[in-house]
Amino acid sequence: MRVASTGLGQTELIADIITMKPKEELMGLYCEATSPAEWHLETYLDPEDMLPVVLGFLKPAVIWVIILSFVLFWRKGPEPEKL
């Protein structure tokens, strides 16, 4: 996973998703950044954010990209735009 933030300037973090699990009424996504720094990242979705995320994953274009990522998993994706 790639993580970019305007707070990082033009630096992009490479991270591995460790787990995703509920924490009270929130959904937590836990990641470990591996490059260029080693950080522990935690992201939480509020209940009102979950429906748009699930609906976003159900869009045909997104489903197509997910299917292709399983077929072509060895290919590196394009570099994201600089912030």
The pLDDT of residue 40? 92
The pLDDT of residue 36? 84
How would DSSP label each residue in 46-76?
Answer: -HHHHHHHHHHHTSHHHHHHHHHHHHTTTSP
Q: Is residue 54 part of a domain?
A: yes
Q: Is residue 22 part of a domain?
A: yes
Q: Is residue 77 part of a domain?
A: no
Distance of CA 70 to the CA centre of its chain: 16
Domain carrying residue 30: 2-71
Q: State the total domains in the chain.
A: 1
pTM of the model: 0.66
17-60, pLDDT tens digit by residue? 999 999 989 999 999 998 888 889 899 999 999 999 999 999 99
Q: Is residue 39 part of a domain?
A: yes
Of 47, 45, 20, 23, residue with least CA distance to 31:
20
Q: Is residue 6 part of a domain?
A: yes
